[in-house]
Amino acid sequence: MRNVEESKIGRFRDQLREQRWDDHRYYHHNLLNQSLHFVSAITFMVAYVIVWSEPWLAALLGWGIAMTTRQAGHFFFEPHDYDYVNDCSHEYKEEIKVGYNLARKVVLMGLWALCPVALLLSPSLFGLFAPHNGTMGFLENLGLMWFALGVGGLLFRTVQLFFVRDVETGLVWATKIITDPFNDFRTYYKAPGQLVRNVAEARRSKAG
């Protein structure tokens, strides 16, 4: 029995390592994208600390800073043409993406952007909240909406993977997403410094 459990844990770790490696090699070529992921990782870790006492504030940080910097790197700075490093097309990478590919992220970020609009149109969000009173009340309710969206987005794709892949893949992906800030911090902490050095070197070359 112990050997079976160890085998399951080992397989889980192997899948987690594989998903992380695929995510890195397919979607994190650009140094600016890596730097933005480092900023995102720090912000998410701060959010993890305060989520237990102020979930609305953690969600504001998570969505307002961590997610926007993270997704900006993917949408605007990461190349979307043929991937010569991995010898595959962008369409292939999007098709095999375990979690949220760019198409799914458009939907998710669209829902994120609609949350403040919905709250402005219905301050009580159709009876779910006490109507906000002032800016702070609006931000608290918005943060709770974003918190629910984040948890819902995680659970939705996890359960969806149970059916389109298998239960283990879904659980591995959920684990990867929750631990991504710590992994990204460790993986990309050198990226901002390298980016600054590259910019400085480019300026010196141009001046020379």
Q: Is residue 126 part of a domain?
A: yes
Q: Is residue 20 part of a domain?
A: no
Domain that holds residue 40: 30-197
Q: Is residue 163 part of a domain?
A: yes
Q: What is the mean pLDDT of residues 3-27?
A: 87
- The phi, psi pair for 88, rounded to 5°, reads -155, 160
Q: What is the pLDDT of residue 50?
A: 97
Q: Which secondary structure element, helix H or strand E, spans residue 197, and what is its range?
A: helix 191-207
Checking if the pLDDT of 127 tops 90, the result is no
Q: What is the mean pLDDT of residues 97-106?
A: 94
Q: Is residue 18 part of a domain?
A: no
Q: Is residue 137 part of a domain?
A: yes
- What is the domain count for the chain? 1
Q: Is residue 170 part of a domain?
A: yes
Q: Is residue 82 part of a domain?
A: yes
Higher pLDDT: 5 or 24? It is 24
User: Token pair of 159, please?
Assistant: 């359960």
Checking if the pLDDT of 51 tops 90, the result is yes
At 144-186, the pLDDT tens digits run: 999 999 999 999 999 999 999 999 999 999 999 999 999 999 9
- HSE, side-chain direction, 13 A CA sphere, residue 194: 12
Smallest CA-to-CA distance from 198 within 29, 24, 32, 25 is with 32
Checking if the pLDDT of 3 tops 70, the result is no
d(CA 187, CA 201): 23
Q: Is residue 142 part of a domain?
A: yes
Q: What is the pLDDT of residue 203?
A: 87
Checking if the pLDDT of 141 tops 90, the result is yes
